[in-house]
Amino acid sequence: MILLVTGGAGFIGSNFVKHRLQTTDDKMIILDSLTYAGVLDNLKEYLNDSNLLIPKTQDDLLSVTKQIGERLSYAVPDGSAELKRLTSKLEGFNPNYVESDLYDMVKDILKKDKVVFVVANIIDSKTDQALMRLSDVVVHFAAESHVDRSIFDADAFIKTNVYGTYTLLEAAKNVSNLKKFIHISTDEVYGHAIGKSFKEADPLNPRNPYSSAKAAVDRMAYAYHQTYGIPIVIARPSNNFGSNQYPEKLIPVMTIKALKNEPLPVYGDGRQERDWLYVEDTARAIDLLIKSGKIGEAYNIAGNNERENISIVRKILEITGRSEKLIDHVKDRPGHDVRYSIDDSKIKDLGWVQDRDFDKQFEYTVNWYIQNQNWWEKILNKDQEYKAFMKAWYEER
């Protein structure tokens, strides 16, 4: 089977790609524009001098990312800076600039290799269509995912999550070979769960710019199934954790701060609850949806590990051997959802079993950041956009 995985250099995407390559004979086409959260190192063992491609439509890519960048106050000012940024994302790799037909080139590479990585934006419809014509299944992870950044500036969230998904869905209309299109949504589309666990048929009530953009395309994907017969299956996973998560999210942020003996910025009282799902379990659940998910349906993927943020932070301090005095209660996130909770009986009816020990996976994850300091230090030291956002956001708190 050939899979087209969008956002495959990101946290959940790259973990899914690795899981799939280790457990199946699939071939993978990875489509990722390498915005700040896409990290090629996540997949370095699968990349070589011939399977990393930048299509000739890169001019479009540059102009799209530039447009997105221009709206962010901390972003790069011009095209040459954007080129510089992309060059730095590709450092240590040797990409091929594709002048000829992307479709033929990818087809050729897949005759010998299991992986092709295409550096392009999902907003580039020509690229989407060429790659989709070669694929049996699409798994669409590509998205801006950090709630704090969406509160800071929602623009990129609309461009990538809404317009990007729309472009992919349009491309799917023009091909006849797709068996399934798995749209990765989120449990955040329901809004916060006060006193209940949401089921798939519950109303969507997103409460921040990120989740509202995701809710829009969750329903747009559904509409493209109803209207055009695209074989959509929607996945709504809860908060993921694991290795390679970009150091802006709760667990990596707190682990890294603890390791550096810096204050840990807990929003408000820290009593907000999240349901933590191990990233490999997300990958296994998506396997199941590829195999047995009913077309046109949405499925919750729960971790069934609901924890208050403060208890997660305390656990991190315990594992890293740091003092609780490092906990710093800071100004809360506006529109903060106090609790996420979903009912996963629908996917369980498909045969889903989640039997991992949370504490064990959690400890493994924190230790991964302890042992892979090079991975996150490179981001902390080199990613100018990341640095600027973190400074601007946390200075306000």
Task: Spell out the residues 6+ positions from residue 311 whose beta carbon is closer than 8 angstroms to its own.
Answer: none
∠ CA 186-137-247, nearest 5°, is 40
Which residues in 140-159 contact ligand TYD (CB under 6 A)?
A: 147
- DSSP 3-state assignment of 1? coil
∠ CA 368-22-175, nearest 5°, is 115
- The pair of three-digit structure tokens given for residue 284, joined into one six-digit string: 């296994």
- First-to-last C-alpha distance (Å) of the chain: 48
Q: How far is the CB of 182 from ligand TYD (least distance, A)?
A: 20
Nearer to ligand TYD, 121 or 208 (CB): 208
For the chain, helix, strand, coil in percent to 5 are 50, 15, 35
Binding mask 77-116 for ligand TYD (x = CB under 6 A): ----------------------------------------
Backbone angles phi, psi at 11, to 5 degrees: -65, -65
Nearer to ligand TYD, 71 or 331 (CB): 331
In what helix (H) or strand (E) does residue 232 lie, and over which residues does it extend? strand 232-237
Stretch that binds ligand TYD, among 10-18, 149-157, 247-255, 370-378 (CB under 6 A): 247-255
Stretch that binds ligand TYD, among 159-167, 261-269, 348-356, 357-365 (CB under 6 A): 261-269
Nearer to ligand TYD, 127 or 272 (CB): 272
- The pair of three-digit structure tokens given for residue 135, joined into one six-digit string: 């694929």
239 is an interface residue for ligand TYD by CB under 6 A: yes
Catalytic residue list: 187-188, 210
Q: Which of 47, 137, 250, 347 binds ligand TYD (CB under 6 A)?
A: 250
34 closest CA partner among 99, 105, 82:
82
61 is an interface residue for ligand TYD by CB under 6 A: no
181 closest CA partner among 86, 31, 266, 296:
296
190 closest CA partner among 178, 207, 169:
207
Q: How far is the CB of 253 from ligand TYD (least distance, A)?
A: 5
Q: How far is the CB of 332 from ligand TYD (least distance, A)?
A: 8
197 is an interface residue for ligand TYD by CB under 6 A: no
Q: Which of 19, 183, 274, 307 binds ligand TYD (CB under 6 A)?
A: 274
Nearer to ligand TYD, 11 or 224 (CB): 11
Q: List contacts with ligand TYD (CB under 6 A).
A: 147, 239, 249-250, 253, 265-267, 272, 274, 309, 333
